[in-house]
């Protein structure tokens, strides 16, 4: 069973991970919009972003264990998902190619990254918004179910549909890319439930004498 200090350390780690990943993803989008295809080097940039995010999380965890500070559950859930919304889909595309044995060349992946950053920015934004809303509800102990707009099923369907808005990238491709996010959503459910049992983000109410 986690103790309060460990919980806040994990929350600090998730916050650091999310901030660095979001920064890396945002930078990749900016580079795609402002620069040419040559020099994008998306594969290396994604790898560097993941490594930097994990390193930041590990450092934050260690520092928080030495000097724990209260961090809200909602913040520690929202920040990683903003980062995942920016970096996750493109990373999933690379992994799917590797699993299927269709290895990307640097040029091919740069072309795909360029297309994704320019054309598929809308589903990325939708995923970030809906995931953030879901994380805030989980932090309150409210688990969205059924066809609630922030349920896993609804988010999956809405984001897949949003990917077809530009009519360039098929919705089915977005749907396949989104499959790895389903277990991550379910894992977040468990994390939120476990940490709520250990630490309450609700401050005690002062009653007048």
Instruction: Answer whether residue 208 is part of any domain.
Output: no
* Residue of 131, 113, 7 whose CA lies nearest to 69: 7
Decide if 154 is inside a domain: yes
Of residues 10 and 1, more confidence is placed in: 10
3-state secondary structure of 119: helix
Q: Tell me if 209 is assigned to some domain.
A: no
- Per the structure, the count of domains in the chain is 1
The string of pLDDT tens digits covering residues 157-174 is 888 888 765 556 777 777
**51 domain-assigned:** yes
110-150 pLDDT, tens digit each: 888 888 888 888 888 999 999 999 999 999 888 887 778 88
3-state secondary structure at position 58:
helix
**44 falls within a domain:** yes
Rounded Cα distance, 114 and 149, in Å: 30
Nearest to 46 by CA among 12, 15, 92: 92
CB atoms within 10 A of CB 173: 15
What range defines the domain where residue 101 resides?
4-196
Is 204 within a domain?
A: no
In a domain? residue 205: no
Is residue 161, in this structure, part of any structural domain at all? yes
- Residue range 104-113: mean pLDDT, rounded: 80
Q: Mean pLDDT over residues 64-86, rounded?
A: 92
């Amino acid at each position: 069973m986690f103790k309060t200090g460990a919980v806040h350390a994990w929350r600090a780690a998730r916050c650091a991970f999310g901030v660095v990943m979001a920064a890396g993803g945002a930078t990749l989008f900016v580079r795609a919009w402002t620069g040419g295809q040559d020099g994008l080097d998306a594969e290396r940039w994604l790898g560097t972003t993941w490594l930097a995010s994990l390193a930041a999380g590990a450092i934050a965890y260690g520092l928080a264990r030495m000097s724990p500070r209260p961090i809200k559950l909602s913040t520690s859930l929202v920040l990683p998902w903003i980062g995942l919304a920016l970096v996750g889909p493109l990373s999933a595309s690379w992994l799917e190619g590797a699993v299927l044995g269709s290895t990307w060349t640097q040029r091919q992946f740069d072309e795909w990254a360029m297309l994704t950053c320019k054309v598929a920015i809308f589903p990325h934004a939708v995923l970030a918004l809906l995931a953030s809303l879901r994380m805030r509800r989980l932090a309150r102990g409210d688990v969205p179910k059924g066809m609630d707009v922030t349920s896993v099923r609804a988010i999956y369907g809405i984001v897949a549909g949003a990917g077809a808005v530009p009519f360039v990238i098929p919705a089915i491709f977005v749907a396949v890319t989104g499959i790895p996010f389903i277990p991550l959503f379910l894992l977040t459910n468990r994390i939120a439930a476990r940490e709520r049992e250990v630490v309450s983000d609700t401050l005690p109410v002062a009653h007048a004498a």
